[in-house]
Structure 1
Amino acid sequence: MDDVKTAVRAAASQLAGVSDTPRLDAELLMAHALGVERDRLLLDPSRFAVPMEFDALVARRLAHEPVAYIVGYRDFWTVRLRVGPGVLIPRPDSETLIEAAVEHFAARAPRTILDLGTGPGTLLLAALAEWPGASGIGVDASEDALGYARGNAEALGMAGRARFRAGDWGAGIDGRFDLILCNPPYIGDTEELMPDVAGHEPAAALFAGPDGLDAYRRIVPDLPRLLAPGGAAILEIGATQPISVTALARAAGFSVDSRRDLGGHDRALILTR
């Protein structure tokens, strides 16, 4: 019987050249191959034998395929989201937006939520999990992403509270929302990305013109008509963009605050009126 701990250690050593988290990647791939959760694998690895498909999974990761695509999901905030080719993979940094929303709505829960650029439903479904009395709309230009979003809402028991529609940011959206969440593309067209991202994730969800600000220039001026009194619009930004996006927001009549991610970078701008 092959030793799972030894196999994971060997895989982590191989993956060190392609991943910033080689041990975690190896553990997730092993757990996926075994059909168990990672915590169960770590609790008692000696009870398992190395499955035949493990080496093939490691080979896919060595070719820079994202772990989330290989295992078919990514955990985000308190929810598990199915993901795959054609959809942006949720990042831990984006949880900063949910943290900021929880802080803003500490005294009262939002009732209506709008997620612009929802991807696989990431921010909307995380927010709906936080506030069971809320409902919301997720908008995305990608039908692939919307297919994942609808499936995730169904799997999480939120299909009755989450609606998804194809759209161009806020265009065609009526009504006002207590909470608007948005993680738009914000990478400059000439910026270099890691091979995992550049070779697999959808460019339309990543790049936004020469300076990475094209999406904000379209989204921010439309937010005043969409935001309900006392509400907040919370935008994800790149680490170099707080000054530029803050200027756009103030020009649209907003007061602006910011929150930093775990790496100490400005990540979320909170827009209020």
Structure 2
Amino acid sequence: NIFCSWSSPNANVVITGREPVENWYSEENTHVYGKEPATLKTGHFTQVVWRDSRELGVGVARNRSGQVFVVANYDPPGNYIGSFAKNVPPPGGFEIPKIIVDRPLIDDCKVITPKPEKHVRIVDENDPDQFDEFSRAMLRHHNEYRRRHGAPDLVLHKELLRDAQQWAEILARDDRFTYRQNSKYGENLYCLWSSDRHAKPNPRDVCRSWYEEVKQYAFAVEPRGVIKGGQFTQMVWKGTRELGVGVGQTRSGKVIVVCTYYPRGNVLGQFVANVQKKTI
């Protein structure tokens, strides 16, 4: 979130913490609860109260003309398309969680010494003992498409693989085809029918089906409301670094493929920076 205030260059004006937050929260007056927004007119408000966000960083700077800028960063970020109803309920819509400080901070907040993160990257995607051939093939085809759009290669990650496989098995067991609610990962889904109980889709066909949504996507503009081409955009999202793959089969013979992505893509306001036109 960004806030700007103006004062004369020589004035020693101090911005209070209340001013930017109240400014952002005032957008609540025009926010419509319970549905996905068509535009992000209340995006500052929704990020302030986004349920899944847990950590906050704040910076302040003044330029020579007297403008004072306040920047607030949030992790995990909010304003994900498809997650507004769950993450921005009306006042009183969810309990306020207990605040737990799990990392030492010095008083002026200039230095943070975090604990080691549990999310450990796995970079040896070619080790046959770690990943099956289907997952490696899915990774290979993802990266082929990502390179076309100037996005860095992904790597397979064990935690994402477990999450994708778990969700694929749940969908297969319940004979459903839907995205996981409140997941911290991005997600793409694919389904086909086969009478072979051991069938797996062709990885190239799966990735091609998602990539072909590029035909529906308008580059260089931020989408409004529902994304056209959302599986394509998640596939080539520049900020994503890690991939998980899972496969499940229903009793009726449907084969479901789930891919999970971290950091997740399809963040409102970040499409232009993360989804580039084809370069090669």
TM-score range, shorter chain: under 0.3
Point out the structure with the larger helix share. Answer: 1
Q: TM-score, normalised by structure 2?
A: 0.25
Q: Which of structures 1 and 2 has the larger relative contact order (alpha carbons within 8 angstroms, sep 6+)?
A: 2
Q: Which has the larger radius of gyration?
A: 2
